[in-house]
């Protein structure tokens, strides 16, 4: 009986530690996603967005460059406004809705990848689709293994008028893929949608 009690106590302690760790990381991710509007004004939207994205584990590609930047301390320096974000790869990143205000001032963003981005949900796609600059610039997008994305969020992508390529894979929240794809295709006739949802 005592051995069983020790086993139960040990399991409870481990559960509490795991819960504390999850709470800590959730809190830290929320801090990383806090928007600093003064910083945006001071250094410009592209630099501020790059700092936010790299802090959260994403990568950025600047206009005129082939390589992806992933090291926060390795961000290029130079005159403010020189480096414009052209691509964002949020694979395994902790970006969340709270930080999406950083995307407002981006005028050259063409490519966006959400792959195993655990905090990406319908509200994030809705917010992304409502940003005027992105409606005019974003033409390639991937949404892969984002368990909180549903048909509702994907349908909002119809506002991205320049979108030419959309890759969708491993999205368990999609319940009516045929209707969703049809609605997107009707709104954006030149959009190529590649599905891997089975």
| Per-position DSSP letters for 38-86, written without gaps between them | HHHHHH-HHHHHHHHHHHTT-EEEETT--SPB--GGG---SSTT---EE
**Residue 29 scores a pLDDT above 80:** no
Please report which confidence band the pLDDT of residue 80 belongs to, taking 50, 70 and 90 as the band edges. confident
Per-residue pLDDT at 117: 94
Homologous superfamily, domain 33-196: Ribonuclease Inhibitor (3.80.10.10)
Please report which confidence band the pLDDT of residue 24 belongs to, taking 50, 70 and 90 as the band edges. very low
Looking at residues 121-139, what average pLDDT do you find?
Answer: 97
Model's pTM, two decimal places? 0.84
Per-residue pLDDT at 28: 56
pLDDT in tens, 147-183: 999 999 999 999 999 999 999 999 999 999 999 999 9
């Amino acid at each position: 009986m005592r051995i069983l009690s020790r086993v139960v106590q040990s399991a409870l302690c481990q559960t509490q530690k795991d819960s504390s760790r999850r709470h800590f990381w959730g809190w830290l991710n929320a801090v990383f996603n806090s928007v600093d509007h003064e910083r945006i004004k001071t250094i410009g939207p592209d630099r501020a967005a790059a700092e936010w994205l790299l802090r959260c584990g994403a990568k950025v590609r600047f206009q005129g460059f082939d390589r992806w930047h992933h090291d926060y301390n390795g961000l290029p320096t130079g005159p403010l406004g020189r480096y414009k974000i052209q691509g964002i790869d949020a694979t395994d990143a902790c970006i969340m809705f709270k930080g999406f205000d950083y995307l407002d001032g981006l005028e050259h963003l063409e490519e966006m990848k959400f792959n195993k981005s655990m905090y990406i949900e319908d509200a994030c796609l809705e917010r992304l689709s409502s940003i005027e600059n992105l409606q005019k610039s974003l033409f390639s997008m991937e949404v892969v293994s984002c368990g909180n994305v549903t048909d509702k969020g994907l349908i909002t992508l119809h506002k991205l008028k320049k979108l030419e390529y959309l890759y969708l894979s491993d999205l368990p929240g999609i319940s009516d893929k045929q209707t969703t794809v049809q609605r997107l295709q009707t709104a954006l006739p030149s959009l190529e949608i590649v599905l891997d949802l089975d």
